[in-house]
A and B are shown apart, each in its own frame.
Chain A
């Protein structure tokens, strides 16, 4: 817009200049022509010349007549007149008149006699000083002859000159007209320009008014703004500073003008942030205030006190100069509130975390002694008890179980609230889940003489991917509750589902004929720690955390639990969960919660546990069944034990001093030791989920939370026993060794084998050292003994090198001794490895 106006102005000025130039040129030309045509004089001059031309001839004639009449008159007068006449003729011949005469034929014709006259006259005048009368007479006659011609010539030349003058006058008037025309055009243009200028002026004035109004408005806005507004030039020097800024920073306007923002307002070190804001404002399109360019930083007051401000910087270009406008707001209060809020939040978080930690620790701490109680109760069952004692034992057991359940629930709540609840997704068979569930709960129902009915739709008899344990937990809770709150009638579990894109929306509907729930309480039962009282202390619906946890878990699995009920008309709880369907039903061995009870053969067990009571309880539980039990109080001790003998199963506590169960397991699995492939059961007082994955990773085969019950223990052991034995062994070794193992047991074979290989090692070492070569008979005897042991242990491979050594010893031939020993060492090494792996795999 500005440059456009400038362009116009240049154009207009150029036009004006051009016009002025033209005009002045024309006027100057006009003036020069005017001068040239100083008409009167010029006319007079030519008229004078022409007239005088004729007149001088007349004068001469008159003078001649006088002289002829009066002879005594001075002759000089005649000469003068004649010379004047001659000069007139010469003038007629030369110069401009001469040109006119020359160019005109008529003039030439007329001029010829005049010229002749002139020549004759000169002739007479030059003849002598004195002019004779005869000459005067001749001269007079000549004049009389030529005068008509002279007259005609004078008139002609006069006419010629007049027409030339006329032509010049015409030219002048034309010029005058042109100039006049131009002047008029110029006038109009000037008028137009003036008009334009007027319009522009008016616009400019309007704009000026607007601008000054805007400026006044801006100034008053800046002055009245509650924000401090500072304007700085491109060097950061403050050029404007409003009243709010004075109030904010304590500096007066006079004190800060000309100083930089950095030295006045922003303490050292924060300058960088402010510079960034400056640069950012430059980067963002000019004059466009960027809402995001606000930064928070601390500023300095005159008193030196630091306080928090919010700085927003904009960049404008004023008259080609960069100007930064900083809007600064005191946000100390906000910062204070923010800080308070943050502190409060942190406090709350800390408290919450402490609570969760407390709960976790407490539940762990409670579970450990509880494990002891329950274990002892289980053990008590195996002793001879009176009926009363057994009754008491049962009360203690069931109370302990309830207590354990509460602890577990509390732990679950903490986990859910802490977002720590993890699902271990695995494939499972829905019918299996359902039947095992019913099997577990059936005794409870039977106890209350209730019917427990299971209905599974055909379209859900598949394998699904999901956390089966959690689903079971929810279903046990729902069905358990129903059993608890139903006095007669039935409890029905219906499982149905709808498929959609490989996802089944499973619906588990638990219907009972119990006391029911009033509509106003139906929401409350899902709240934490809500139990509904019925006035009599007989029974309560919604016992503690169970439902709350169930719903939370269901929702975490993208499902939900809903309830429909009426007082006295029973209740319907519906669990809905989306689960992924698996088309092929895998035969993967599932961790079965409900093993058939099997009596087992005694096995060799290692218990690794740091808690004395739990150790003792577990020991007793196993020894009741006749198993051999070794113990270790930490991972390191366990590794030592495992190096000495082969165990059928190792019960490994997860958290122990010195070395935890996970590390011990990893080491066992990584190594090549005797128990590298032993079945390891992880035990933890913590909830199962935290360590399940880690336990699997470390190489544990099974994981169980404490307390481990007698039944569960027996099932685990039964499971180990029933696991198929891998048949991977050197065929040449196996028959003898297998027979031996069948005869004396794995442990004995191991011990014998270990002793044999130990002796063999010593023998080889001594042979290498050359200690055995003194008495060949004793040497041969020792070798013979070893040959027998090798055969007994099925180490046929050792037969050949040992046989050779025995023969050589008997013969006293020890030339090839070291080579043979080397050979024996190699074979022994291989045999030892194979022997151990045989025992490990069996």
Chain B
């Protein structure tokens, strides 16, 4: 992702997507609505997300049985890619579940916006299309209620706030 050319390309793509898809269909078409501070709003589809640097790991979660393999772009990478500035980020799900977390809490590899679980895209029925997942097994610090609370699924909207 350090390649600046690639970065520009992906930006161009994003801009393109904004004009192609209307916000009305965003929810069911797997579009992620991202609103930055200057109230720029971008929509990212699965392909756009998959083009960004991918992080993957195996972990158990308290909502699934057994280990699962997850992959996707880390939230920090995404925000960096979008040039987002701000104190916190508000994430909202299809069921209107919403959390706020400080941007400072974001790490390079955690949490990630999971696009693929066990190498498959996730349907809404399976808590898709996007799921904020932490590598719970890798560190006890991810095994707290706060982290569990932040593990929002059916993620549909991202808003940077102060």
Q: Besides the contacts A36-B144, A76-B28, A87-B127, what 18 more A-B pairs have beta carbons closer than 8 Å?
A: A32-B140, A35-B141, A35-B144, A35-B146, A38-B144, A39-B145, A42-B149, A44-B149, A55-B95, A56-B95, A80-B28, A86-B125, A87-B126, A87-B154, A88-B95, A90-B125, A90-B127, A96-B63
Interface check B94, CB cutoff 8 A: yes
Interface check A356, CB cutoff 8 A: no
Query: When the two chains form their complex, are residues A42 and B124 in contact, meaning their CB atoms are under 8 A apart?
Result: no
Looking at chain B's contact residues, the main secondary structure is loop
Residues in chain B near residue A42, CB distance under 8 A:
145, 148-149
Interface check B45, CB cutoff 8 A: no
- Cβ of A747 to closest chain B Cβ, rounded Å: 146
Query: When the two chains form their complex, are residues A87 and B125 in contact, meaning their CB atoms are under 8 A apart?
Result: yes
Query: When the two chains form their complex, are residues A45 and B28 in contact, meaning their CB atoms are under 8 A apart?
Result: no
Given A35-B145, A45-B149, A80-B28, A91:B124 Cβ within 8 A: no
Kindly report which residue of chain B lies nearest to residue A95, judged by CB atoms: B63
Kindly report which residue of chain B lies nearest to residue A42, judged by CB atoms: B145
Interface check A79, CB cutoff 8 A: yes
Kindly report which residue of chain B lies nearest to residue A85, judged by CB atoms: B125
- Cβ of A46 to closest chain B Cβ, rounded Å: 9
Interface check A283, CB cutoff 8 A: no
Those of A53-88 within 8 Å (CB) of chain B: 55-56, 76, 79-80, 83-84, 86-88
27 contacts between A and B (CB under 8 A): A35-B141, A36-B145, A37-B145, A41-B145, A41-B146, A42-B148, A42-B149, A44-B149, A45-B148, A45-B149, A52-B95, A80-B28, A80-B94, A83-B123, A86-B125, A87-B125, A87-B126, A87-B153, A88-B95, A90-B127, A94-B64, A95-B61, A95-B62, A95-B63, A95-B64, A95-B65, A122-B125
Interface check A19, CB cutoff 8 A: no
Per-position binary interface string of chain B over residues 114-132, scored 1 when its CB falls under 8 Å from any chain A CB and 0 otherwise: 0000000001111100000
Most A CB contacts (10 A, CB to CB) among B27, B63, B154 go to B63
Compute how far the CA of A324 lies from the CA of B56 in the bound complex, rounded to whole angstroms. 77
- Cβ of B100 to closest chain A Cβ, rounded Å: 11
Query: When the two chains form their complex, are residues A90 and B126 in contact, meaning their CB atoms are under 8 A apart?
Result: yes
List the count of A-B residue pairs having beta carbons below 8 Å apart.
69
Residues in chain A near residue B62, CB distance under 8 A:
95-96
Compute how far the CA of A96 lies from the CA of B60 in the bound complex, rounded to whole angstroms. 11
> Chain A interface residue count: which class?
20 to 34
Interface check B143, CB cutoff 8 A: yes
Kindly report which residue of chain A lies nearest to residue B151, judged by CB atoms: A45
Contact of A38 among B61, B94, B146 (CB under 8 A): B146
Contact of B63 among A48, A91, A122 (CB under 8 A): A91
Residues in chain B near residue A87, CB distance under 8 A:
124-127, 153-154
Kindly report which residue of chain A lies nearest to residue B65, judged by CB atoms: A94
- Cβ of A831 to closest chain B Cβ, rounded Å: 140
Query: When the two chains form their complex, are residues B149 and A41 in contact, meaning their CB atoms are under 8 A apart?
Result: yes
Residues in chain B near residue A35, CB distance under 8 A:
141, 144-146
Compute how far the CA of A39 lies from the CA of B94 in the bound complex, rounded to whole angstroms. 24
Residues in chain B near residue A94, CB distance under 8 A:
63-65
Compute how far the CA of A55 lies from the CA of B145 in the bound complex, rounded to whole angstroms. 23
Compute how far the CA of A48 lies from the CA of B141 in the bound complex, rounded to whole angstroms. 23
- Cβ of A514 to closest chain B Cβ, rounded Å: 135
Interface check A98, CB cutoff 8 A: yes
Given A87-B154, A94-B64, A96-B62, A52:B125 Cβ within 8 A: no
Residues in chain B near residue A37, CB distance under 8 A:
145
Residues in chain A near residue B149, CB distance under 8 A:
38, 41-42, 44-45
Kindly report which residue of chain B lies nearest to residue A37, judged by CB atoms: B145
Kindly report which residue of chain A lies nearest to residue B24, judged by CB atoms: A74
Residues in chain A near residue B153, CB distance under 8 A:
87
Query: When the two chains form their complex, are residues A84 and B94 in contact, meaning their CB atoms are under 8 A apart?
Result: yes
Compute how far the CA of A122 lies from the CA of B124 in the bound complex, rounded to whole angstroms. 13
Compute how far the CA of A277 lies from the CA of B141 in the bound complex, rounded to whole angstroms. 75
Compute how far the CA of A86 lies from the CA of B127 in the bound complex, rounded to whole angstroms. 9
Residues in chain B near residue A789, CB distance under 8 A:
none
Per-position binary interface string of chain B over residues 88-99, scored 1 when its CB falls under 8 Å from any chain A CB and 0 otherwise: 000000110100
Residues in chain A near residue B28, CB distance under 8 A:
76, 79-80
Residues in chain B near residue A88, CB distance under 8 A:
95
Compute how far the CA of A90 lies from the CA of B146 in the bound complex, rounded to whole angstroms. 22
Residues in chain B near residue A36, CB distance under 8 A:
143-145
Residues in chain A near residue B146, CB distance under 8 A:
35, 38, 41
Interface check A430, CB cutoff 8 A: no
Compute how far the CA of A38 lies from the CA of B101 in the bound complex, rounded to whole angstroms. 14
Given A56-B95, A97-B63, A91:B145 Cβ within 8 A: no
Compute how far the CA of A84 lies from the CA of B129 in the bound complex, rounded to whole angstroms. 11
Compute how far the CA of A76 lies from the CA of B144 in the bound complex, rounded to whole angstroms. 36
- Cβ of B27 to closest chain A Cβ, rounded Å: 7
Most B CB contacts (10 A, CB to CB) among A37, A84, A86 go to A84
Per-position binary interface string of chain A over residues 13-51, scored 1 when its CB falls under 8 Å from any chain B CB and 0 otherwise: 000000000000000000010011111011011001000
Residues in chain B near residue A44, CB distance under 8 A:
149
Per-position binary interface string of chain A over residues 79-116, scored 1 when its CB falls under 8 Å from any chain B CB and 0 otherwise: 11001101110110011111000000000000000000
Query: When the two chains form their complex, are residues A48 and B124 in contact, meaning their CB atoms are under 8 A apart?
Result: no
- Cβ of B40 to closest chain A Cβ, rounded Å: 26
- Cβ of A35 to closest chain B Cβ, rounded Å: 4
Compute how far the CA of A514 lies from the CA of B151 in the bound complex, rounded to whole angstroms. 151
Compute how far the CA of A98 lies from the CA of B146 in the bound complex, rounded to whole angstroms. 20
Compute how far the CA of A80 lies from the CA of B25 in the bound complex, rounded to whole angstroms. 11
Residues in chain A near residue B145, CB distance under 8 A:
35-39, 41-42, 45
Residues in chain A near residue B97, CB distance under 8 A:
48, 52
- Cβ of A84 to closest chain B Cβ, rounded Å: 6
Compute how far the CA of A45 lies from the CA of B63 in the bound complex, rounded to whole angstroms. 12
Compute how far the CA of A84 lies from the CA of B94 in the bound complex, rounded to whole angstroms. 8
Query: When the two chains form their complex, are residues B63 and A83 in contact, meaning their CB atoms are under 8 A apart?
Result: no
Query: When the two chains form their complex, are residues A84 and B95 in contact, meaning their CB atoms are under 8 A apart?
Result: yes
Compute how far the CA of A839 lies from the CA of B33 in the bound complex, rounded to whole angstroms. 169
Query: When the two chains form their complex, are residues B95 and A83 in contact, meaning their CB atoms are under 8 A apart?
Result: no
